[in-house]
Amino acid sequence: MKNREEVVKEMQAVVEQMRLDDIEENPDCENEFFTCAACGDTKPLAGSVHYGQNYRLCNDCVLLAEVGFELGQIKNVEELIDAMEDKRLEADCEFLRQEQKRLEN
């Protein structure tokens, strides 16, 4: 069985290759954005993955999900999304702060 470090290195390479493959297939996807279901950040489509019918994860969160699956830390993507609720709330709060600043100027 692979140790944690081996799994992380392997998955980093796989996820990066997915991103590069997406860009090679469709260069525009690097400049097309969506809101990640896990972290709540606005991220490029390049390297993102659609899990099931409801969740698109950014490349960074795909890495977290796949490492979690491989190490048996999570069973499904919903577990990752639930675990990252605080991160999404922080992203929402930051957006609201920036919007408030914009409106004040």
CA dist 47 and 43 (Å) reads 10
Asked if residues 71 and 44 have their Cβ atoms less than 8 Å apart, the reply is no
Residues 26-72: pLDDT tens digits? 999 999 999 999 999 999 999 999 998 899 999 999 999 999 999 99
Q: Label residue 54 exposed, middle or buried (CB < 10 Å: 0-12, 13-18, 19+).
A: exposed
Q: Read off the pLDDT of each residue in 6-11 and give the average, rounded to a whole number.
A: 93
Q: Are 63 and 12 in contact (CB under 8 A)?
A: yes
Q: Among 5-14, 66-75, 95-104, where is mean pLDDT lowest?
A: 95-104
- Backbone phi, then psi, for 92, in 5-degree steps? -65, -45
Q: Give the global pTM.
A: 0.82
